[in-house]
């Protein structure tokens, strides 16, 4: 950045921490805030400071929360018999937005990856082990990513859940709703064929 003032330069640099913020857009962003959004910028600064300092993890599902239990875990109307395991908080939001799930979650800190040094301990398996001891639990829904590491993690979790006698399910693989076959990759299409459902069954 061409410097017009040390503090403006510092702001441009600090904005680069945001995802997808290159040098040019950080510059534009800084000037935009200074020019048109001083109050909004100040509010963002204050909320951001509080959030970075205070947001911890939900004691039960390990999603981000500034309260002991997150909003989802604290919601008694949800089905405590179902537990869905995901590998990132974003996945919880995606599932919530789908509106198709009323159970609870458990958020791993990523998939296990021995090469990257993420073993059972690092991704939070001990907490998961404690969590599935819950008496009310009946079904474990595996929703880890469908890559190699996610699949291996799912396998690992499934083994633990089997010992506990839980029903184990996983998200269906297949063709995205509204998608044409020519936009679907071969492996997805192969799975969609293999797990094809009878017409009468698919009408729900």
Nearer to a second copy, 92 or 161 (CB): 92
Phi-psi region of 110 (alpha: psi -120 to 50; beta: other; left: phi over 0): left
Is residue 116 part of the contact set for a second copy (CB under 8 A)?
Answer: no
Of 64 and 155, the one with the shorter C-beta distance to a second copy is: 64
Shortest distance, CB of residue 65 to a second copy, whole angstroms?
4
Dump strand ranges (E) for the chain. Answer: 56-57, 64-65, 79-86, 103-107, 139-142, 167-170
Query: How many CA within 13 A on the CB side of residue 88?
Result: 7
Q: Is residue 181 a contact residue for a second copy (CB under 8 A)? A: no
Binding mask 34-73 for a second copy (x = CB under 8 A): xx-xxxxxxxxxxxxxxxxxxx--x----xxxxx--xxx-
Three state DSSP letters for 103-154: EEEEECCCCCEHHHCECHHHHCHHHHHHHCCCCCCCEEEECCCCCHHHHHHH
Does residue 193 touch a second copy according to CB under 8 A? Answer: no
Applying CB under 8 A, does 4 fall inside the site for a second copy? yes
Q: Does residue 93 touch a second copy according to CB under 8 A?
A: yes
Question: Does residue 102 bind a second copy (CB under 8 A)?
Answer: no
Evaluate whether 125 touches 149 at the Cβ level (below 8 Å).
Answer: no
| Interface with a second copy, residue 33, by CB under 8 A | yes
Closest by CA position to 105, among listed 136, 138, 140, 134: 140
Binding site for a second copy (CB under 8 A): 1-8, 10-11, 13-15, 17-19, 27-35, 37-55, 58, 63-67, 70-72, 88-90, 92-93, 96-97
């Amino acid at each position: 950045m061409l410097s017009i003032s040390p503090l403006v330069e510092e702001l441009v640099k600090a904005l680069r921490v945001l995802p997808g913020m290159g040098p040019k857009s950080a510059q534009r962003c800084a000037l935009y805030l200074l020019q048109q959004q001083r109050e909004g910028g100040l509010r963002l600064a204050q909320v951001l400071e509080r959030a970075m300092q205070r947001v911890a993890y939900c004691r039960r599902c390990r999603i981000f929360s500034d309260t002991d239990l997150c909003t989802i875990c604290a919601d008694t109307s949800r089905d405590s018999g179902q537990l869905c395991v995901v590998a990132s908080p974003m996945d919880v939001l995606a599932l919530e937005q789908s509106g198709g799930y009323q159970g609870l979650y458990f958020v791993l800190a990523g998939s296990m990856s021995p090469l990257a040094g993420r073993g059972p301990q690092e991704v939070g398996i001990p907490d998961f082990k404690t969590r599935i001891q819950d008496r009310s639990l009946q079904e474990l829904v595996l929703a880890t990513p469908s890559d190699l590491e996610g699949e291996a993690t799912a396998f690992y979790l499934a083994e633990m859940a089997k010992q506990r006698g839980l029903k184990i399910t996983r998200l269906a693989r297949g063709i995205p709703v509204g998608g044409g076959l020519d936009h679907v990759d071969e492996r997805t299409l192969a799975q969609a064929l293999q797990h094809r459902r009878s017409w009468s069954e698919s009408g729900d």
